[in-house]
Amino acid sequence: MSYTLHYSPDSANLVIRMALLEMKLPFEAVLVDRRMGEQRSGSFLALNPQGLLPVLIDPLQDQPLFETAAILLHLSERNNALAPTDDAQRGRFLKWLFYLSNTLHADLRGLFYSESYLSDPAALPALRAGLHARVARHFALLNDEIAGHGGPWLLGHELTVCDLYLGVCARWVQIYPRGDTLAPGVLAGLPQLNALLHALQGRQALQQACAQEGIGGAFLTAPQYPEQAAV
């Protein structure tokens, strides 16, 4: 049995690729060329009517899967991996996974695709300023959470899918949207979060995931754009 991951370099599929490689699961990767608008093609919309990446095909499921957090949870449950082994931590595992998805990632989307949230372009600077402040608070809260229990990971001593999701969001906020003057330095002054990023960056499976999407170097602490950038 092999999964199929529909991807575009450095899109949210990077989180899923990291999870698949960390879990040592076999998968095939299919490029959706965002530079050509392929995410809006009929064949891709049949997989995800939102026209968004990632999509994961699990041959044992009756529909293609979308939504990053849902795919992470599905993979973690089915493979009994990258989730807390202590059942008393199950609730906060879900709490932070949902927070990463519906608060951090959602607000990052607002920053990356600001125009699509507005009918009046004049409101753009105000929206972006508000979102920047919100995103800075989200990362500070996550840093406090790690500091509160001593890390090294978001939930404590066990790596979970939450860390992969957090790591990629932290990568993106430093470099997207391109040319955003507020992006560089946004994670300065968050030592526990930066320590987590360093630790993630040392993991071979994550380096491999990035290499497969044309991303090299210090991909979390000094991120560069992928070779075949879509945005």
Candidate residues 12, 72, 169, 187; the one interacting with ligand GSH per rule CB under 6 A: 12
Judged by CB under 6 A, does residue 215 bind ligand GSH? no
Q: Tell me phi and psi for residue 169, to 5 degrees.
A: -60, -40
DSSP string, 108-177: HHHHHTGGGG-S-GGGHHHHHHHHHHHHHHHHHHHHHHHHHHT-SSSSSSS--HHHHHHHHHHHHHHH-S
Nearest CA among 72, 39, 89 for reference residue 169? 72
Name the minimum Å distance from CB 13 to ligand GSH: 8
Name the minimum Å distance from CB 141 to ligand GSH: 19
Name the minimum Å distance from CB 171 to ligand GSH: 11
Judged by CB under 6 A, does residue 164 bind ligand GSH? no
Judged by CB under 6 A, does residue 39 bind ligand GSH? yes
Show contacts with ligand GSH in window 65-94 (CB under 6 A): 67-68
Q: Is 203 helix (H, G, I), strand (E, B) or coil?
A: coil
Residues that bind ligand GSH (CB under 6 A): 11-12, 34, 39, 51-53, 67-68, 101, 105, 109
